[in-house]
Amino acid sequence: MLAAAVRRSGASFTGLERDVAAAALARENSALNGLSDRATILDGDVQTGFRALGVEPFDAAMANPPFFDDPKALRAPSEAKTGAWMADGGLEAWTGFLLKAVREGGTITIVHRADRLADILALLSPKAGSFKIRPIYPFADQPAKRVLVRAIKTGKAPLVLLPPLVMHERGGAKHTNEAEAILRGEAALPWA
């Protein structure tokens, strides 16, 4: 969120964090980067629902939900990190929250596992559409591991599958030129 706030100097941002220590760290980071006047961190959990926050819907919402919701499918690296790896309430809780968090015509952006794309589309599509999907490939010759999905609440445009973002070149630099420019803030992630 703070990286987005730096890129969009005219916009205000609100983040939601359920871990009290992580929320405090985010607030400190916001202050250290001179963003406290435009970046607010709320304590809360998507499981309690958007209305519990007592704020109006936003123009846009973005999320990087925990990638797993079946504790038997993955052993988290440590118990302290389980919350970052396992989504309480599953992907359904996250998509439901995001649909409530944006106004009609607002955008929802999610980064998630590529193998959950069908689930993401199914969970959002009753109330959102105009999907744009950008696959993220680790290497050009490997299948996508992640997807960026952008939807518009009440959108009706046809689904658009965008060119992939390839992260690495074999035997080359750590990242492709495009990925490096995006990661360094020198380029935006194109959606058109």
Comparison of pLDDT for 132 and 93, the residue scoring more: 132
The arithmetic mean of pLDDT across residues 43-48, rounded, is 90
Nearest to 108 by CA among 87, 86, 130, 88: 130
What is the separation of C-alpha 78 from the centre of its chain, rounded to a whole number of angstroms? 23
Structural domain spans, the chain = 45-183
* pLDDT score of 152 more than 70: yes
Rounded Cα gap, residues 73 and 68, in angstroms: 8
The arithmetic mean of pLDDT across residues 37-42, rounded, is 94
Q: What is the pLDDT of residue 187?
A: 87
Question: Could you give the angle at the alpha carbon of 186 between the alpha carbons of 181 and 188, nearest 5°?
Answer: 85
**Tokens, residue 175:** 């990242």
CATH superfamily assigned to domain 45-183: Vaccinia Virus protein VP39 (3.40.50.150)
Q: What is the pLDDT of residue 127?
A: 96
**Tokens, residue 173:** 């630099």
* pLDDT score of 118 more than 60: yes
Q: What is the dihedral of CA 183, 129, 68, 12, to 10 degrees?
A: 50
Q: Which residue type sits at 91?
A: L
The end-to-end CA distance of the chain, in Å, is 22
If you compute the radius of gyration of the chain from its CA atoms, what whole number of angstroms results?
17
pLDDT band at 23 (very low <50, low <70, confident <90, very high): very high
pLDDT per residue as tens digits for the range 68-101: 666 566 555 566 655 555 556 688 989 999 999 9
Strand, coil or helix: 120: helix
**Tokens, residue 25:** 């760290």
Task: Name which of 7-11, 61-65, 88-92, 186-190 the model is least confident about.
Answer: 88-92
Place of tokens 């599953």: 90
